[in-house]
Amino acid sequence: MLLGINPLLTGELLKHLDEMGHSDSAMIVDAHFPASRLAKRLVSLPGTSSPDALRAVRSVLPLDDAPAVDLMTSADGALLEVQEQLLGAAGVGPEESRFVDRYDFYAAADSAYVIIRTGETRTYGCVVVRKGLVGH
């Protein structure tokens, strides 16, 4: 255990986040997402919600310029509660986010540096964050 590090940030996950370069992406996905099939690097946090996982990741990962995050567009185009919570965990608003079609979101997994699969069971509980620059 390390002081000041969110306990959800396992050694494996911290290693991947540290290895990411500027603009590399991390996907935090719900339990429905085909993560095992799509991931090059997969970290599982099965007992965790997507917003909690994102909050932990954001405690050590600066965001790249806008759009700060990508969310999957819901079936009816509405902003869902889990998406509002994801935006809050990222510390951004909808205007700083991009909403993408489900299949485009799946395609983005191909270039994701790491995929973090949570135990989130609410639909559309997925988000992409891109690593920004660490300040001096």
Which class for 31: exposed (0-12), middle (13-18), buried (19 or more C-beta within 10 A)? Answer: middle
3-state helix vs strand vs coil in the chain, percent to 5: 35, 20, 45
> What distance in Å separates the CA atoms of residue 116 and residue 64, rounded to the nearest whole number?
18
Q: Which amino acid is at 7?
A: P
Catalytic residue selected from 16, 22, 32, 136: 22
Provide the 3-class DSSP secondary structure of residue 135: coil
Residue 16 is a catalytic residue: no
**CA neighbor of 27 nearest in space, from 3, 10, 15, 43:** 43
Q: Is the dihedral of CA 52, 119, 32, 34 positive or negative?
A: positive
The residues that are catalytic are: 22
